[in-house]
Chain A
């Protein structure tokens, strides 16, 4: 942890991600207005006059919607990660350990998923599943796990012939036990790096979904949907679309910096 803070790249990343988490947790207390509260008398107002970042096309306070939007983004990131990461992790480690047909089958399966550009596959899936938060999470998770499986497998292959694994096997440990006790702890580092970098991409995908109206229901504060709503007023009230976009860049950059820094610290080989 100390190594992480002494790495300037990672430290900036931690601060940004920390701000996201705090904003998401304390949105109800931090937000000056109700994120859904419309006030058509004060629509499309510039910053100032009680609204630090102005108001949108329905007179809703942009700052409040940004803070609540942090919740939406963080929620989707967490849900995708808890769905896709364990699946990819276990499958990858098992495939690497078992080798043979299990390994070939898994690699071929990931080949197929990785043959689509991720966003395209996620969009097609979301179109078939229909709108809604759960479906957006599912669509993104389906495109995320193959990468994790690949990383876990590569890492497993590099350690499965080590002496300590052989020792565990000599002591009579089952394959599943070796995977759990010897292999998985060794794979965690590179997987954490991969997942963190991936979160940066998920932030962008979530925003893209919102922009196309595929993610959360229309009135929910979500950054991508806010950008889409501001598109109509771009040339006259530029801040309506610009401000939520800055939030997306800021948070995505935070995860990228954190992942990059984590790689320096946890995975110095690459």
Chain B
């Protein structure tokens, strides 16, 4: 037994080292993008009408008069002490901005992933159990369509149809203006905060605003989750225990939903974690269209204004979250599947 736990420990240490290395790599990449690629990072900060004195002062302040290695050291020092620089657009520290905008993105992505699981898993199971017949083809075509649709365009179309024409949901933004800043931001997640305060009207309004962006983002995870569920289920349904269960006369529904799905569930957890990461990516362009005040809007806004500190700060945070999700997926996999050690 001792050797097993030792091996597990060694595996965990190796995994940790891998993550630490990748994290370091993320920092190197953002450093290169921010400080090495731009021809003149100083100019980007002070603007082209700055006086030579201002320019020189900014250059020294940014540490650009020193060697690349020292610059990188200073960059690391800043990041680890929570200093991502100041945003040129908002004039606030980038860290403060991110803390402020991240909960909105998390709220959106979480509701979207719930939509993805609720619709994607049954669709995938259905496709696998009717393999080669019309439900299978339908799921395939719909998920390929999901893979092929630009998020920002779909966002515009649902706004056009469900907000402008049908009036079923609220328009852009996170909440109506007259409801703004009423509930205390305890968690930063508006749905939670409104419920905590018992402000049901606000909760309803927030849900109405959330519906369309969550639907757009959710449709992408439906496509991904349905496809992955299908292939995992196809694999399980070909196993001998399924044959055995059928042979002893178990109902097909029980075979599919209880036995096969239970075995497909472990890798499905990984799929869900990965698709949560993909939602962060999708949120960038979706949030812009819905004027959703999250990290995605923040990043695109900064992109348009060449606000590199903000762009790199958001890139780094999204990269780290992505990495964390992968790690969680791995850990859950080992926890849930007794065969993996």
Residues of A that sit less than 8 Å from B by CB: 108-109, 111-113, 115-121, 123-129, 200, 204, 207-208, 211-214, 224, 227, 231, 234-235, 238, 241-242, 245, 248-249, 252-253, 256-257, 260
Contact among B281, B289, B311, B318 with A127 in the assembled complex (CB-CB below 8 Å):
B311
Residues of A within 8 A of B289 (CB): 231
The tally of residues in B whose CB lies under 8 Å from a CB in A reads 50
Residue of chain B at shortest CB distance from A207:
B150
Interface: B152 (CB within 8 A): yes
B152 partner, pick from A116, A118, A208, beta carbons under 8 A: A208
B22: chain A residues at CB < 8 Å are 108, 111-112, 115
CB of B25 closer than 8 Å to a CB of A = yes
| Measured CA separation A109–B150 after assembly (Å) | 29
On chain A, the residues within 8 Å of B284 by CB distance are: 119-120, 123
| Complex contacts, B278 vs chain A, CB 8 Å | 117
Secondary structure dominating the interface of B: helix
Cα distance, A211 to B154, chains bound together (Å): 13
- The SS class assigned to the A binding surface is helix
Bound-complex Cα distance A193 to B199 (A): 52
Q: Which of A113, A124, A213, A241 contacts B156 (CB 8 A)?
A: A241
3 tightest A-B CB contacts, nearest first: A112-B25, A117-B281, A245-B153
B311 and A124 form a contact (CB under 8 A): yes
Task: Decide if B179 is an interface residue (CB 8 Å cutoff).
Answer: no
In-complex Cβ contact of B285 among A113, A128, A208 (8 A): A208
CA distance A108 to B145 in the complex (A): 33
**CB–CB B149/A127 < 8 A:** no
Judge whether A227 and B25 touch: CB under 8 Å: no
Do residues A116 and B322 form an inter-chain contact, with CB atoms below 8 A? yes
Compute how far the CA of A37 lies from the CA of B326 in the bound complex, rounded to whole angstroms: 50
Nearest CB of A to B320, in Å: 9
- Expressed in whole angstroms, the Cα–Cα distance for A213 and B306 within the complex equals 12
- What are some 11 contacts across the A-B interface (CB < 8 A)? A108-B22, A116-B29, A120-B314, A126-B303, A127-B303, A227-B156, A231-B156, A234-B156, A234-B160, A249-B149, A253-B148
CA distance A249 to B37 in the complex (A): 33
Encoded as 1 (CB less than 8 Å from any A CB) or 0, chain B from 22 to 56 comes to: 10011011100110011000000000000000000
Contact partner of A256 (CB less than 8 A), chosen from B147, B160, B302, is: B147
B315 within 8 A of A: yes
B312 at the A/B interface (Cβ < 8 Å)?
yes
- Residue pair B150, A127 in contact (C-beta under 8 Å): no
Residues of chain B within 8 A (CB-CB) of A108 are: 21-22, 25
Chain B 280-294 interface 0/1 with A at a Cβ cutoff of 8 Å (1 = within)? 110011001100000
CB distance from A43 to the nearest CB of B (A): 20
Q: Which residues of B contact A224 (CB under 8 A)?
A: 150
Q: Which listed residue (A117, A234, A249) contacts B159, Cβ 8 A?
A: A234
Check B71 for interface membership: any CB of A closer than 8 A: no
